[in-house]
């Protein structure tokens, strides 16, 4: 086992009665000092993972390790983790100071140390001077900070955050994303962040676990997951994408919409049926002659940063294009893209096989002398 792995799941399953499992044979490792995000739609099992780590629920099967020690039977109050809850779960009968001091008082720390630590934690989250406020007098964003201060004051090795930003308005959410990321860097504590918001996950994480139907679909850095999604679910869930069925003709040659295109993938079986992904921002509007695809503009939305243009080719496939230039609805246009823009996904590939294949590319590229 790697030394810096602080949390490890080994074949963990969580199942209620005879319902389909919420978590199905999940294994992963969490390293010290990184910002992790568990990302997925509601009901994918991400919060269950958090509750298993915190100790609020027990695994039906499998083992959970913390710093190399099995913690399946360790109760929540004996675990070195603290949670920031979705609804903050601040104690309404205590003021800000006492909320933050709660964990320290239970540890029977003396009042001088408590005072020092509470004030330190509050200044960490920019709430200096709010000590004597009641919780009901605080705004949503401030409550959020109190909840974070209450967690960090205990100096846990891991902080679990259960969709903590979902109740905030958009502007505050963006602000808190920066603050959380900054806080994690300053503290150097492992953060495990649960969200269903892919933008949030991409912006904040060192590592993302994408979950669906109780299984980890893909794990990796935000860039890996965005650029190299393993399957249709990940490609669709993370960002906008054009996903089409195709066929791998040969190394570096792929066929879809009845045409052949140069690509950068290799090592697949000849004539293997595959799916391809092209991100809308990788499609460039050009003239019909220059375009690799010829499409008709169907509709267009102005999104502020870019136009979102929906086009159809003559086979009826929809092509989503993000462009800073506007197009005219009804026009026939050409779409150009680089070979690198095509990402090939094998059907039913596991994460292990996928990683191996990606590594092979790097080796292959090295062999080509690139």
Partner 1 sequence: MENKFTRNIYMVPYALWIALFVIAPILLVLYYSFFDIEGNLSLVNYQKFFTPVYLKMTLSSFWYAFLITLISLIVAYPTAYLLTKTKHKQLWLLLIIVPSWINLLLKAYAFLGIFGTYGITNSFLEVIGIGSQQILFTDFSFIFVSVYIFIPFMILPIFNSLIELNPTLIDAANDLGASKWTTFRRVIFPLTIDGVKSGCQVVFIPALSLFMLTRLIAGNRVITLGTAIEQHFLVTQDWGMGSTIAVFLIIIMFLFMSVTGTRKRGI
Q: In the complex, which residues of this chain contact partner 1 (CB under 8 A)?
A: 54-56, 75-78, 81-83, 85-87, 89-93, 102-103, 106-107, 135-136, 150, 154
Smallest gap from Cβ 18 to partner 1, in A, equals: 17
CA atoms of 201 and 225, how far apart (whole Å): 11
CA atoms of 286 and 268, how far apart (whole Å): 31
Smallest gap from Cβ 143 to partner 1, in A, equals: 9
Nearest CB to partner 1, comparing residues 82 and 218: 82
Count the Cβ atoms, other than its own, within 10 Å of residue 157: 16
Nearest CB to partner 1, comparing residues 144 and 198: 144
Neighbour order of strands in the sheet with 207-212 = 81-84, 158-162, 190-195, 35-39, 207-212, 215-220
Smallest gap from Cβ 8 to partner 1, in A, equals: 20
Nearest CB to partner 1, comparing residues 111 and 221: 111
Nearest CB to partner 1, comparing residues 159 and 344: 159
DSSP labels for 217-285? EEEE-HHHHHHS-SSHHHHHHSS--EEEEEEEEETTEEEETTEEEE-S--SSPTTEEEEEEE-GGG-EE
Nearest CB to partner 1, comparing residues 75 and 367: 75
Smallest gap from Cβ 116 to partner 1, in A, equals: 18
Smallest gap from Cβ 5 to partner 1, in A, equals: 22
**Measured over all CA atoms, what is the biggest interatomic distance in the chain, rounded to whole angstroms?**
78
Question: Running DSSP on this structure, what letter comes out for residue 273?
Answer: E
Q: What angle do CA 227, 231, 235 make, to 5 degrees?
A: 50
Query: Distance from CA of residue 300 to its chain's centroid?
Result: 29
Smallest gap from Cβ 77 to partner 1, in A, equals: 5
Nearest CB to partner 1, comparing residues 91 and 178: 91
Smallest gap from Cβ 121 to partner 1, in A, equals: 13
* Tokens encoding 282: 């990788």
Sort residue 50 into left (φ over 0), alpha (ψ -120 to 50) or beta: alpha
Nearest CB to partner 1, comparing residues 139 and 287: 139
* Tokens encoding 19: 């319902």
Please choose, from the candidates 5, 42, 57, 3, the residue with its C-alpha nearest in 3D space to the C-alpha of residue 27.
5
């Amino acid at each position: 086992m790697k030394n810096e792995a602080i949390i490890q799941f080994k074949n963990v399953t969580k199942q209620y009665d005879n319902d389909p499992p919420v978590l199905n044979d999940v294994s992963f490792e969490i390293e010290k000092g990184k910002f992790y995000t568990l990302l997925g739609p509601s009901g994918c099992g991400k919060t269950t993972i958090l509750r298993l780590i915190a100790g609020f629920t027990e695994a039906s099967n499998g083992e959970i390790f913390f710093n190399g020690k099995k913690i399946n039977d360790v109760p929540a109050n004996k675990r070195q983790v603290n949670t920031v809850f979705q609804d903050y779960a601040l104690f309404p009968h205590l003021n800000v100071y006492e909320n933050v001091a709660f964990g320290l008082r239970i540890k029977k720390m003396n009042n001088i140390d408590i005072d020092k630590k509470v004030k330190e934690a509050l200044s960490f989250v920019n709430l200096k001077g709010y000590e004597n406020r009641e919780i009901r007098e605080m705004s949503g964003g401030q409550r959020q900070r109190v909840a974070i201060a209450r967690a960090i004051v205990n100096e846990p090795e891991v902080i679990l955050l259960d969709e903590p930003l979902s109740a905030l308005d958009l502007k505050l959410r963006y602000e808190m994303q920066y603050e959380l990321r900054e806080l994690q860097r300053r503290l150097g504590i492992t953060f495990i962040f649960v969200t269903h918001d892919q933008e949030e996950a991409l912006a904040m994480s060192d590592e993302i676990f994408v979950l669906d139907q109780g299984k980890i679909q893909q794990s990796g850095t935000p860039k890996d997951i965005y650029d190299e999604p393993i399957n249709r679910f990940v490609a669709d869930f993370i960002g906008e994408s054009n996903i089409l069925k195709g066929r791998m003709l040969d190394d570096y040659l792929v066929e879809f919409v009845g045409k052949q295109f140069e690509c950068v993938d290799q090592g697949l079986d000849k004539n293997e049926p595959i799916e391809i992904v092209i991100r809308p921002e990788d499609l460039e509007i050009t003239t019909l002659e220059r375009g690799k695809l010829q499409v008709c503009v169907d509709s267009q939305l102005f999104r502020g940063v870019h136009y979102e243009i929906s086009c159809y080719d003559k086979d009826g496939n929809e092509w989503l294009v993000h462009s800073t230039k506007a197009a005219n609805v009804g026009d026939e246009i050409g779409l150009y893209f680089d070979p690198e823009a095509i990402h090939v996904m094998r059907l039913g590939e596991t994460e292990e096989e996928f990683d191996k294949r990606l590594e092979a590319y790097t080796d292959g590229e090295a062999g080509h002398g690139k």
